[in-house]
Structure 1
Amino acid sequence: MQHGTADGTCPPAWSREAATAFRKAGTDVELRTVPGEGHTFGAKRAASLHVTEAFFARHLR
């Protein structure tokens, strides 16, 4: 999961709570916060997609 700290659409606390719930359920989850980014990541969107792709590459073999 990735969440911009300046997200005005979905509060960052929701991602923290979801990540905690996934961990408690035994699911492999990573939460990455992106300082200053909003809901769609703006200038850092490409970098955020690379992080997501790398996660899937490690876990979906």
Structure 2
Amino acid sequence: MKWSVANAAGILWSAYFLLGCSPTVRLEAPEKPIEITMNVKIEHEIRLKVEKDVDELITSNKDLF
């Protein structure tokens, strides 16, 4: 099997294009800082205050229940 100049040029040309399609991976830090928004309801403080008020009410009025 004889290699002609056209066959060799075709193989080199296709190898050149295949090397150009190699994937690249970049690790870059974001320009803006990451922002986390947290919507948290704090209900336990209110419940504790109500429980303390109810406890005082029950201890002061034992005939309530």
TM-score, normalized by the shorter chain, greater than 0.5: no
Mark the structure with the bigger radius of gyration: 2
- TM normalised by structure 2 equals 0.27
For normalisation by structure 1, the TM-score amounts to 0.29
Higher relative contact order (CA 8 A, sep 6+): 1
